[in-house]
Amino acid sequence: MKFLLGPKLHFDWKIVTITIASTLLLLVDHYHRMTAYKYWDRVILYLIVPLVFILFIFRENPRDYGLTLGDWKAGLVITLAGILIMTPVIWYLGKGDPSMTDYYKPHVAGLPWTTFLDLIGWEFFFRGWILFGYARKFGAEALWLQAVPFALAHIGKPEVETLSTIFGGFAFGWVAWRTRSFLYPFLIHWFISSFIILVAAGVLG
């Protein structure tokens, strides 16, 4: 019987919980609507639900999951640098790829608050809960581990964007890792998302 069962398995229950819960939350987001607006769904699924797990199941401080200003001086410098670097890239992609225009043109209404609400939970989910939860067990490897579900969650968006997200997810993760906060990748992502919608929809230029 021991030969059939193999070596005894040992699991970290918090890693198991984060893995299963995050997968289910992504699937629920894909298949269901809970409110009239998708961005409110994402606040609930990706911000409120993980905070409930952290506070009442893990019994930990959300600061340990990046819900803090962290190294704000480095964060502001990196955020500004990220915006400056990404602006010409977004302009080129938004103007040069018809698939970007087709996908993003209907999303102009409500900016920038729709992207704010859409991404505040999204970034805490990947660059807070998953990244810092995994980092305790896997160290820096968590940067790549959180980038994988982030990339897969982009399936259905324009191909040129989706193909880049494994690298973008790593970069956002590095910003959170460096600053110990999800806030700065959120600010960069908020700018990128809002700006690309404006460019692709032809509002700018």
Give the integer Cα–Cα distance in Å for 78 and 160.
Answer: 24
Query: Whose CA is closest to 168, among 187, 182, 148, 184?
Result: 148
How far is it, in rounded angstroms, from Cα 136 to Cα 145? 13
Helix axes 13-31, 142-152, angle to 10 degrees: 20
78-124 tens-digit pLDDT: 999 999 999 999 898 878 778 888 888 888 989 999 999 999 999 99
The reported pTM is 0.94
Q: Domain coordinates of the chain in residue numbers?
A: 2-200
Residue-wise pLDDT tens digits, 148-205: 999 999 999 999 899 999 999 999 999 999 999 999 999 999 999 999 999 988 787 6
